Copies of this chain bind each other. A is one copy, B any other.
Amino acid sequence: MSKDARNDARNKVRDAAIALFAQKGVKATTIKDIARAAGVSEGALYRHWASKEELAAALFAAEYTALSHDLSAAAGGGPAPQRLRRVVAWAFGLVEAAPDRARFLLLSQHDALPLVPDGLETPVDAVCAIVGDGIAEGSIVDADREALAHTVIGAIVLNIQSHVYGRQTAPLGALADTVADALLRGLSTGKGA
């Protein structure tokens, strides 16, 4: 059997599972659901993952680290405030570009976060690093960097969440500047890097 076919099955299961997990959550999604949506048998799934829980944990860890990596890339270079502004805009854009990924991460975090192995690079780490740089260069106020990073991420996540749940009806793109302005006024010293 060719390697392409092998990856096809894996990828089909992965995509189907993420979409279903994103819609109904991990617990409410059955193996039958996933197999049917992916167009494979239930048994085939167990050739690639040991259990449903391991499948969910593996998918979450992969998406979580990818998010962290993409976030760092989107931040780019330059002074920390500018990088944070890019992070906000990028995160809001991601929801519209890949709603399943975003919803999957939002929905599964409470189940899956405790299963993520320690030492993995997380999005929190990435933002922490930017904030730390900002403190070092004097462009971000000198305070607990984790608390500031959580403040930034929380502001992003809750705006996204409320959008995903249909509470916030204004398009996210229009809010990026509002949220970024408020956060940066709060975190910046006003001095350039």
List residues of A whose CB falls within 8 A of some B CB: 25, 27-28, 106-107, 110-111, 113-114, 124, 141, 143-144, 146-148, 150-159, 161-162, 165, 167-168, 170, 174-175, 178-179, 181-187
Q: Say whether, besides A106-B110, A165-B114, A159 and B147 are in contact (CB < 8 Å).
A: yes
Q: Check A165 against B124 for contact (C-beta < 8 Å).
A: no
For the complex formed by this chain, how many copies does it contain in all? 2
Closest Cβ of chain B: how far from A130's Cβ, in Å? Answer: 15
Q: Check B182 against A151 for contact (C-beta < 8 Å).
A: yes
CB contacts (< 8 Å) of A187 on chain B: these are 182, 185-186
Q: Check A157 against B154 for contact (C-beta < 8 Å).
A: yes
Q: Check B150 against A159 for contact (C-beta < 8 Å).
A: yes
When C-beta atoms are compared, the residue in chain B nearest to A159 turns out to be B150
CB contacts (< 8 Å) of A181 on chain B: these are 141, 143, 186
A168 in complex: contacting residue of B150, B159, B162, B182, CB < 8 Å: B150
In the assembled complex, the Cα of A154 lies from the Cα of B183 at a distance in Å of: 12
In the assembled complex, the Cα of A151 lies from the Cα of B153 at a distance in Å of: 9
Q: Say whether, besides A27-B28, A110-B110, A158-B154, A184 and B182 are in contact (CB < 8 Å).
A: no
A25-B110, A144-B174, A147-B170 given. 20 additional CB < 8 A pairs?
A: A27-B28, A110-B110, A113-B165, A124-B167, A141-B181, A143-B178, A143-B181, A143-B182, A146-B168, A146-B170, A147-B175, A148-B178, A148-B182, A150-B168, A151-B158, A151-B183, A153-B158, A154-B154, A181-B186, A185-B185
CB contacts (< 8 Å) of A150 on chain B: these are 155, 158-159, 161-162, 168
